[in-house]
């Protein structure tokens, strides 16, 4: 029985870690910005990437290091997605973040290697990572969801199979 409880705790922990592990999203964003292409997406959700011979990065590594990673990490951290912000506060954070990114692109377009025609593409790719993560923090959504998952796992795994009752009727 103790071993089963330990397995349940490990299962809960792994599920929550998986749901809160958003580094893959940042890595995929970086690959897209570097010009890598998706070769295949497997049923388990993993992606196989290729670097085409004609790969043209959208921006330089400097932009990724100085702008993309710091801004994305702030939104994909566990402390952010486990917070309890209001929608208004989240929208203000997002607006300020995207204004900062747009300003950095405009001010440093030459050193970051971003052409004006790629500004919208770069912002859209970054938004695809940041916005969903930011909205997980609204009104404690992630905390409530994780709590519900805990309860569902416990009820599924802790439910003992019921013993079959014997029919004690006598037929005469």
What pLDDT digit, counting tens, does each position of 143-169 carry?
555 455 445 545 555 555 555 555 556
Helix (H, G, I), strand (E, B) or coil at 7: helix
Residue of 107, 134, 105, 133 lying closest to 120 (CA atoms): 105
Residue carrying structure tokens 């990114």: 101
Phi, psi for 123 (deg, rounded to 5): -60, -40
Residues of the chain with pLDDT under 70: 1-22, 139-172
Tell me, what's the pLDDT at 22? Answer: 63
DSSP conformation class of 85: B
Structure confidence at residue 79 (pLDDT): 73
Do 74 and 131 contact (CB within 8 A), yes or no?
no
Q: What sign does the dihedral 132-133-137-140 (CA atoms) show?
A: positive
């Amino acid at each position: 029985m103790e071993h089963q409880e330990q397995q349940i705790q490990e299962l809960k922990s792994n599920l929550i870690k998986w749901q809160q592990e958003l580094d893959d999203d940042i890595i995929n964003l970086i690959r897209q910005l570097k010009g890598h292409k998706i070769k295949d997406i497997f049923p388990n959700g993993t992606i196989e990437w290729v670097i085409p011979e004609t790969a043209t990065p959208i921006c330089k590594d400097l932009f990724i290091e100085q702008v993309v990673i710091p801004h994305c990490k702030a939104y994909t951290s566990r402390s952010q997605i486990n917070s309890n912000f209001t929608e208004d506060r989240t929208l203000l954070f997002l607006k300020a973040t995207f204004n900062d990114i747009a300003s950095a692109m405009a001010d440093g377009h030459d050193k970051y290697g971003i052409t004006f025609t790629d500004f919208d593409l770069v912002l859209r790719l970054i938004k695809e990572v940041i916005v969903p993560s930011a909205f997980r923090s609204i009104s404690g959504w992630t905390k409530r969801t994780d709590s519900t998952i805990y309860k569902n796992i416990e009820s599924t795994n802790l439910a003992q199979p019921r013993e079959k009752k014997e029919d004690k009727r006598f037929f005469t």
